[in-house]
Amino acid sequence: MDLAGRLPAAAAQGLFWGIMALGVYITFRILDIADLTVDGTFATGGAVSAVMIMKGVNPWVTVLVALVAGLAAGFVTGFLHTKFGIPAILAGILTQYALYSINLAIMDFKANTAVSSATPNLVMTGLNVNQSLLVCFILAAVIIAIMYWFFGTELGSALRATGANQEMSKAQGINVNRMKVVGLAISNGLVAVAGALSTQYSGFADVNAGRGSIVIGLAAVIIGEVVGEAIFGKKLNFAGHLIFVVVGAIIYYLVYTLILWLQMNPNLMKLFTAIIVALFLAVPYLRSKSKNSFAKAGKQSKKEA
């Protein structure tokens, strides 16, 4: 019964982390870029939201401002990568490193900032866990719908083409560098929105809140893809991929809740996460290897011998 009571809260937390995972999906799967900016952007969104709420700004407005802050952070990473020729992974590390100081400055050089319990809260105030779950579900559904629409537009299609084949995209007249900047900006904008929602859910912002976000995002993307392809196979379309990214985040937090319920040491969660991500990353490779005709021929020849 205690475990059942924890599941709705875990699902709600998984939903707004799923929004963060959608941002990771844009860079990791669509653009094929390893972007580490998200570890800093998540905390930026939370810091912006907490400080503005404490100053009396409407919580919904703080989420929009967090979105703008995330877009700016992603733009910086994209600028460093495309204009200065810095590899994407290093550009992300540089931006993330700079964001630590920026996040501290936003919170008046305090490591964390609490959101007053008397302040109207976007997700939690006046809502029980089930109502919070519903709000998070609606937000995630709206964001997925907007993403599905956007990637069907000319700009979104150009962005997807850039990730699929840069040389062919250039030949078609697409400004590849511009698409990379746009993709990185949108990705980090979504991550900052998730950070703002997380802060309003937990009641405080912390400068280290985003540490490990990239791994959790990757876990959600990989778990979601494996589960989605196991259910739908090749019929899983783009909308399905987006939905299952969020499903992957929910599954991750349900497993996390189960580990806490079993009274296992939560400090080992990063180890469990690394193992889970490694296993799920290996699944597509092992599956393709098992279907390889040469591998099958080799096994057959061994049997015959």
Question: Residue 63: is its pLDDT beyond 50?
Answer: yes
pLDDT band (50, 70, 90) for residue 132:
confident
**Side-chain half-sphere exposure of 297, counting CA atoms within 13 A:** 3
Q: What is the pLDDT of residue 25?
A: 96
Q: For the chain, give every domain's residue range.
A: 2-304
Residue 103 has pLDDT above 70, yes or no: yes
Give me the mean pLDDT over the 164-177 stretch.
92
CA distance 132 to 117: 16
How many residues are present in the chain?
Answer: 305
| Predicted confidence (pLDDT) at residue 123 exceeds the cutoff of 60 | no
**Cα angle: 152, vertex 176, 34; to 5 degrees:** 85
Q: What is the pLDDT of residues 286-305, one digit of tens each?
A: 777 776 655 555 566 666 65
pTM value?
0.89
The overall average pLDDT reported for the chain is 87
On the question of pLDDT at 231 being above 80, the answer is yes
CA distance 182 to 156: 10
Cα 251 from Cα 255, distance rounded (Å): 6
Q: What is the mean pLDDT of residues 212-234?
A: 88
Q: What DSSP string runs through the chain?
A: -HHHHHHHHHHHHHHHHHHHHHHHHIIIIIS-----THHHHHHHHHHHHHHHHHTT--HHHHHHHHHHHHHHHHHHHHHHHHHS---HHHHHHHHHHHHHHHHHHHTTT-SEEEPPTTS--SSSTT--HHHHHHHHHHHHHHHHHHHHHHTTSHHHHHHHHHHH-HHHHHHTT--HHHHHHHHHHHHHHHHHHHHHHHHHHHTEEETTTTTTHHHHHHHHHHHHHHHHHHHHGGG--HHHHHHHHHHHHHHHHHHHHHHHHTT--GGGHHHHHHHHHHHHHHHHHHHHHHH-HHHHHHHHHHHH-
**What mean pLDDT comes out for the span 238-262?**
89
Least confident of 141-145, 265-269, 288-292: 288-292
